[in-house]
A = this chain, B = another copy of it.
Amino acid sequence: MSDTATITSPKTSLQVSFKEIPAITATATLLIKCRDQAGIVQAVSEFIHRYGGNIITLDQYSTAHEGGQYFMRLEFALAGLSEIIDNFEASFAHTVAKRHNMEWRLHDNGIKTKVGILVSKFDHALLDLLWRHQRGLLDCQITSVVSNHEDLRQSVENFGIAFHHVPVTKDNKVEAEEQIHDLMAGNDLLVLARYMQILSSDFVKRWPMQIINIHHSFLPAFVGADPYRQAYDKGVKLIGATAHYVTTELDQGPIIEQDVHRVTHRQGVTELRAIGRDIERNVLARAVNWHVQNRVIVAGNKTVVFN
């Protein structure tokens, strides 16, 4: 109500990225995992410097010094990146990465991560992702939505996103998953925005650490069915939600993000679900954004999140 004069269209202001780097300069993100050892920062930064790159952010973490696991995330700006990226990668592989025995990945930030969404009937997590995507608040390209119900077709198509209905029954589960797999081919990430079917191990194995689920409880409390009912029966004073990678073990994949909200004895199960929706949509949106910004590294059954 009070900033009449200074308001510009949100679309305009959102095109300025947070770091306010001139859009002309291309940037890339480098992720590294190796044994902790002396000289890594020196070797990597020297390599980038030789190409004329400028390090924008550098995060590192190691589980223990002298022999622990080491993780690095590094963003750098480099004019003309797209023309030299192949050379850069080949050269990095044969020198720094080889010498330090690194697992690594380079991502050209000019290329958007492709994301497909699976959903059932609850729309809160889905709509929040679509709305953030439309406003430029998710650093990815949402390609399509698959659902085992028709209900949300209109809501999805309103955003100009393709909607596919793939019914799932006990009898057609294998075929349905095959169909979903084909529809989702080409995506880098699948998001289960309250998808109420358990994916088979075979499906999950084809998308390793590429499926994010939002679980409607503060894991590891209340695994399994109807967690808000469980939370109500237990009388907890906080309820929560958990975004995690999907593995073949149900509700046990590496946790990316969690949050909670205070409740009292007065809230019934229905009200817990309503409060839970607000937590779920925020937690899922944060987890997806961190993933597509290459901020999440899986380390065993846990995650390192550089945010």
Chain A interface residues (CB < 8 Å from chain B): 1-7, 9-10, 13-14, 16-22, 25, 37-42, 45-46, 48-49, 52-62, 64-66, 77, 120-124, 127, 131, 135, 137, 151, 158, 192, 194-199, 213, 215-216, 218-227, 229, 233-238, 240, 246, 250-251, 254-260, 264-268, 270-271, 273-274, 278, 282, 299, 301-305
Contacts and interface: CB of A to CB of B under 8 A. Distances in A.
Given A46-B46, A250-B2, A268 B55 contact: no
A21 B65 contact: yes
Contact of A39 (B49, B131, B198, B273): B49
Contacts of A64: 20
A270 B127 contact: no
Nearest to A72: B58
Contacts of A192: 1
Contacts of A197: 1, 4
Main secondary structure of the interface of A (DSSP, over half): loop
Ranked nearest first, the 4 interchain pairs of A and B with the lowest CB-CB distance are: A235-B302, A42-B45, A42-B49, A221-B221
Given A38-B49, A46-B46, A55-B41, A196 B265 contact: no
Contact of A278 (B40, B52, B282): B282
Contacts of A37: 54
A178 to B, nearest CB: 19
A284 B158 CA distance: 25
Given A45-B42, A65-B54, A236 B255 contact: yes
Q: Which of A53, A195, A198, A237 has the most CB of B within 10 A?
A: A237
B56 A65 contact: yes
Given A18-B268, A197-B4, A237 B225 contact: no
Contacts of A274: 14, 18, 137
A299 B223 CA distance: 25
B270 A213 contact: no
Contact of A58 (B60, B77, B121, B273): B60
Contact of A265 (B77, B226, B282, B302): B302
B305 A264 contact: yes
20 contacts: A1-B192, A1-B195, A1-B199, A1-B213, A1-B251, A4-B198, A7-B120, A13-B273, A14-B270, A19-B268, A41-B58, A56-B65, A61-B265, A219-B236, A221-B221, A235-B254, A237-B257, A265-B302, A265-B303, A278-B282
A18 B303 contact: no
